[in-house]
Amino acid sequence: MDVPFLSLRDINARHADELKAAVARVIDAGWYILGDELAAFEREFAAYCGTRHAVGTGNGLDALSLVLRAWREMGELAEGDEVIVPANTFIASFLAISETGLRPVPVEPDPATFTLDPARVEAAITPRTRVIMPVHLYGQLADMGALADIAGRHGLLVLEDAAQAHGAAWGGVRAGAFGHAAAFSFFPAKNLGALGDGGAVTTDDDQLAAYVAALRNYGSEVKYDHPMRGINSRLDEIQAAMLRVKLRYLDDDTARRRAIAARYRAGIRQPGMILPSVAHEDAHAWHLFVVRCGWRDALQRHLRAAGVQTQVHYPVPPHHQDAYPELHGLSLPVTEQLHREVLSLPMSPTLTDAQVAHVIAMCSAFAEAA
Ligand SMILES: *Cc1c(COP(=O)(O)O)cnc(C)c1O
């Protein structure tokens, strides 16, 4: 039996009629950038996240960097200020920081949850620290209570990287509504995926929302008036229309992801694998189901031979990338060990029960570790 890691075709085929009707609606409207579809999606996504504002952007990386850029314009941040970021995140979290003239300060995650370890965050704060950027990695909320407490005591801003966690919630509060601002990605493979690139900033701060909305559009609120040096990073009308369709199914998809994760966790019997731990069922949106294994590469080969596609998120941590030579000297043993051990099993709302059962059986049959 073949189990794909993720089939975008299958995901979107479920809504093909509605998606095609939405594209036709935009074509017929004749307005393709900054129009009614975007305005409607921004209202709907803000309501979903429970924030006053959502501002669409061209992608998730720009959503992150536009918040930091806006804070610089607002005088909250200056060149060289430090941003605390989990060391085991996707490179985009780091790129948004360095692109804005700020310094990424990588901090180790809690290996049980893969998210920022609040105790280590406190130890990494210096007089130049201005922002904490928790990443809800693999779909699980970071410990936002503890991080908000630290940020409050030190007067720091909190920017959530929520690119993997649409719909994850704690105490009825959803990802995107915990920090001073949050950034989402709608890259096709994300839990809420467009059929192209897309992103959004969510916030309750009226001024910040207005700055981001201007900065994404050449730094302009009024056509041909440019008080700031902005960029061009807008969520186009067709992608906004796609996302309006898919937002209506997000909670159903998340429920299916949770059911698959529950079956993996209950069914896999493999002493050589550490299964992901969850603080609370609602707090995980299961963008990825990531296990740890000391024989990771052998496990991946074994699963591939059994027809099960897996991936590694991520093979090389940002501080070891050639893009960041200034970080090569850092020793981050928790992160480095995680990058050697993590393996992502197939996870998609379209996986069948038979496919899930096959993944479970093949994981349990892995012999190398026994
Ligand atoms: C996908 C992702 C991003 C970037 O989003 P893009 O839309 O691909 O630019 C940022 N941070 C994390 C954690 C991501 O997974």
Cβ–Cβ under 8 Å, residues 221 and 36? no
Q: Which residues of 102-125 are buried (b: 16+ CB within 10 A; e: fewer)?
A: bbbbbbbbbbebbbbbbebbbebb
> Out of 3.40.50.300, 3.90.1150.10, 1.50.40.10, 3.30.499.10, which CATH number does the structure's domain 250-369 have?
3.90.1150.10
| Cβ(113) – ligand 1 distance below 6 Å | no
Quick: pLDDT tens for 16-28. 999 999 999 999 9
| Cα within 13 Å of Cα(172), Cβ side | 0
| Cβ(366) – ligand 1 distance below 6 Å | no
| Cβ(187) – ligand 1 distance below 6 Å | yes
| Cβ(308) – ligand 1 distance below 6 Å | no
Q: Give dist(CA 249, CA 257) in Å, integer.
A: 12
Reading phi first (left if > 0) and then psi (alpha if -120 to 50, else beta), residue 171 is in left
Quick: pLDDT tens for 38-62. 999 999 999 999 999 999 999 999 9
CA-wise closest residue to 177 among 148, 149, 150, 199: 148
Ligand 1, atom 14, residue with closest C-alpha: 163
Q: Give dist(CA 104, CA 91) in Å, integer.
A: 11
Quick: pLDDT tens for 211-230. 999 999 999 988 898 999 99
Quick: pLDDT tens for 320-365. 999 999 999 999 999 999 999 999 999 999 999 999 999 999 999 9
Quick: pLDDT tens for 106-156. 999 999 999 999 999 999 999 999 999 999 999 999 999 999 999 999 999
Residue with tokens 């130049």: 128
Quick: pLDDT tens for 65-80. 999 999 999 999 999 9
Domains 8-247 and 250-369 share a fold: no
Show me where the domains of the chain are located: 8-247, 250-369
Residue with tokens 């937002």: 247
| Cβ(85) – ligand 1 distance below 6 Å | no
Residue 190 alpha carbon to ligand 1 centre in Å = 9
Name the pLDDT band for 367 (thresholds 50, 70, 90).
confident
* pTM above threshold 0.95: yes
Active site residue 190: yes
Atom of ligand 1 nearest to the CA of 135: 13
Residue with tokens 């479920």: 14
pLDDT at 4 over 80: yes
- Share above pLDDT 70 across residues of the chain, in percent, rounded to a whole number: 99
| Cβ(142) – ligand 1 distance below 6 Å | no
CA-wise closest residue to 356 among 280, 276, 279, 256: 256
Residue 75 alpha carbon to ligand 1 centre in Å = 26
CA-wise closest residue to 147 among 103, 106, 178, 170: 178
Residue 217 alpha carbon to ligand 1 centre in Å = 20
Atom of ligand 1 nearest to the CA of 137: 13
| Cβ(59) – ligand 1 distance below 6 Å | yes
Residue 274 alpha carbon to ligand 1 centre in Å = 26
Largest CA distance in the chain: 67
Residue 244 alpha carbon to ligand 1 centre in Å = 20
| Cβ(164) – ligand 1 distance below 6 Å | yes
CATH of region 8-247: 3.40.640.10
Q: Give dist(CA 39, CA 330) in Å, integer.
A: 44
* Residue to probe by mutation, ligand 1, list 85, 91, 136, 161, most atoms within 8 Å of CB: 161
pLDDT at 369 over 70: no
Atom of ligand 1 nearest to the CA of 287: 15
pLDDT at 175 over 60: yes
Query: What is the average pLDDT across 148-177?
Result: 98
